[in-house]
Homo-oligomer: A and B are copies of this chain.
Amino acid sequence: MNTRPRNILYAQSGGVTPVINASAAGVIAAARASGQVGRVLAARHGILGALTEDLIDTAQFNDQELKQLEQTPGGVFGSCRYKLKSLDDNRREYERLIEVFRAHEIDCFLYNGGNDSADTALKVSQISREMGFEIQCIHIPKTIDNDLEGTDCSPGFGSVAKYVAVSILEASLDVQSMASTSTKVFVLEVMGRHAGWIAAAGGLARRQEGDPPHVILFPEIAFDEDRFLAAVRRAVETHGYCSVVVSEGVRNAAGEFLADAGTTDAFGHRQLGGVAPTVAGMIKERLGYKYHWAVSDYLQRSARHIASQTDLDQARAVGEAAVEMILAGQHGVLAGIVRESDDPYRWSIRPVPLDQVANHEKKIPPEFISEDGYGITDACRRYLEPLIAGQAYPDYEPSGLPAYLRKPLVSLPRRLPEFSV
């Protein structure tokens, strides 16, 4: 088996990002350039494709398509939300994975995902050793939430951060124009169920006293309606308008999500209304200001058109580094980004043992949130700013739309019996 070049299986996991495909492109390009890798397969829909043996040979991408792959948001191979159970609860799934790896002569598994994927990669690494068919598992980090341990930042986050900072700046200029006779408060809801990294990025739009956003609501800070409304009123009275960024994960003092407060529509249907309309409703009700709100939802997570160059470079680099780690004989590691300096921003990539990483969640540190709880500190700005630097524009078609890859991908013939998950 050691006489043939190693074959790689790459898979995407969990929520996708504007640049996750750049990591895929990095893997494929580095493998081709090395001359030491055999086939690079990709699992369709992440670990599910690995279990069901739905595999794609990336040899079907020519150089032009590889370039398009790097520029395309979403997960080109498909992702999934599927967490392998523990070894004790479902040993059969792990065994099946090894069977698929064996049937397709796969020696290396590159799993591109967040916290859960780190855990899966670690378990696959362990079980494969036990089963006598050792797989080199490398975790390629990805998450817009930026909550991964073992890496200074997570590819995907920088582009979402850029989208949020640019969007709140733009929308605030709009509100400011209209505030004398119309909308006085604008509320932008952003992602981040457990950590306020994305909300914090909105703070980058603010450079001096009076600049928007005037209030950021973090999941790390318990929501206090009276204090919040006082801050909104103060901004309107001082600056003529108020611009708010709210994380979807904001909770009240009792620890309940504001967005789960239980809105019902006219027919009595329960709705998960979003936290932006909830907060906007309070402002209208108690302060009487005319408001607008936006929920950017998947738009922020897929906005490849305004991707950060730093983020794109890092997403590609962790993919390339994973291949180098494979060739260097590493296994059970994360390709982690190390920050070497803030200004000028310098970074490198190193292997981090997965058992130090899996199942940890990196919260925003208290010293990154301003004393009043509604803004970011200079330390936070120093951390965030390099991550949104540079514009990695995709190519466009003459029609005015980005030239994203829309290639139907052919699966390899199956070699094993079917398997249901």
Contact = CB atoms under 8 A, between A and B. Distances in A.
A281 interface: yes
B273 A81 contact: no
Interface in A124-179: 162, 165-167, 169-178
Contact of A274 (B169, B182, B277): B277
A243 B398 CA distance: 24
A396 B295 CA distance: 25
Contacts of A278: 265
A265 B263 contact: yes
Given A80-B181, A306-B305, A400-B308, A174 B298 contact: yes
Interface in A184-207: 186, 188, 204-205
B16 A165 contact: no
Nearest to A166: B305
Contacts of A399: 204, 385, 388-389
A112 B81 CA distance: 50
Interface string A34-47: 00000000000100
A170 B269 contact: no
Nearest to A270: B281
Interface stretch (A71-79, A85-93, A216-224, A348-356): A71-79
Interface string A272-310: 111011100100010000001111111101111110101
This protein's copies in its complex: 2
Contact of A177 (B79, B175, B310): B79
A393 B180 CA distance: 29
A60 interface: no
B205 A401 contact: yes
A404 B168 CA distance: 13
The binding surface of chain A is classed by DSSP as mixed
B263 A174 contact: no
A169 B401 contact: yes
A271 interface: yes
A347 interface: no
A373 interface: no
B281 A81 contact: no
Given A178-B80, A265-B281, A401 B295 contact: no
A298 B390 contact: no
Nearest to A205: B401
Contact of A262 (B79, B204, B266, B393): B266
A178 B401 contact: no
A166 B402 contact: yes
A256 B155 CA distance: 45
Given A265-B261, A266-B262, A391-B396, A74 B165 contact: no
A48 interface: yes
A308 B401 CA distance: 10
A120 to B, nearest CB: 14
Contacts of A173: 72-74, 302, 404
A170 B296 CA distance: 12
A27 B303 CA distance: 33
A260 to B, nearest CB: 9
Contacts of A78: 176-178, 180
A277 B266 contact: no
Contacts of A302: 170-171, 173-174
A12 interface: yes
**Ordered nearest first, which 10 A-B pairs have the shortest CB separation?**
A74-B173, A75-B177, A388-B400, A294-B297, A170-B302, A174-B302, A171-B298, A262-B266, A80-B181, A389-B400
Given A78-B178, A293-B295, 6 more contacts: A16-B178, A74-B173, A74-B175, A188-B299, A272-B277, A296-B299
